[in-house]
Structure 1
Amino acid sequence: MADVQRQLDRVVSLMRAQQPVPAIGTVGLRSARFREGYSPESVTALFDNIAEWQRQLNIRHEVNDVDSAEATAPENGRLNWSRQQQVWVREITFQSTRFGSAYETDQVDDFLDNVLRAMGNGESLPDIKSAQFHMARAGRGGYDAAAVDHFLDQLERIRPL
């Protein structure tokens, strides 16, 4: 428990100083004997939530920076998507689910490939508002629809540099 608290104290300190919070690994945490500690799953989930919070904060700052600066197209007419924006799209993962609302994984993956292709070519993104995915068949599994929709809402707000 002391190892986890030390990590949390570090996170709070960085947040108060308005510094970025790096990803926190659980590899260096000692396992508790006799079940006196937190469950490893809970600690991992907490650290994952902190990493997601930092990623969301980075995106918000990037969007605000772009909105506050005057947007001018480069001379070659290509849009300048940042490496961070492209990595964000490339590394997004959605939880698969067999129950509830889920989108066909292939369709979502194909759409994200098109987004990455447009970014890499310095083009406008595909029309996000008109993106439609079939619901996954019951029991077959697919990407959690709410998570995909949330990501698309965020994707719609980013702008090239």
Structure 2
Amino acid sequence: MKIVETGFGKWKKDGQFYKLAPSAGQTIAAMKAEAEAAGYTLVAPSVLEKAAMFKKREIASARYEAEFSGFTEPNSGLFVRTDERTRSLLTAAKLRAQANAAYLVENWKTADGTFITLDAPTIIALESAVHDFIEAQFAKEADLVARINAVSTIEEVAAIQW
């Protein structure tokens, strides 16, 4: 048996829902027996639980979109992409900048297509700002999920928005 998804599905353990699937070559019956032996219970989620599951998926999707949307760094006014490639490049540049205060990235391509030079302090500040931006998106998602877990009506679930 393998867990396909946490927070969604018809198997419940310790108050949490899971979507389970058979391991390679495992029959459904064998998976069910393994799941029950491991403490999972096959249940039909209530209407409220199902609404909460879908809302958590919606919130996770919104967080993902926000995480990769980029932002304008307030100190420099520079729009910074937050895709994984840009994050990797900034992290590598930050490591070099920390090791060498004179380090420069002489041809950093901005979102509008122009090339600029980034000095070590700017590189470090930008990477830190990107990290903080990403962390803020996950913090917001965690807060909204906690709110979803605390509500008691479908209307309260529906009212929670990114």
TM-score exceeds 0.5 = no
TM-score class, shorter-chain normalisation, is: under 0.3
**Which of the pair has more CA radius of gyration?**
2
Relative to the length of structure 1, the TM-score reads 0.26
TM-score (norm 2): 0.26
Q: Higher RCO, 1 or 2 (CA under 8 Å, sep at least 6)?
A: 1
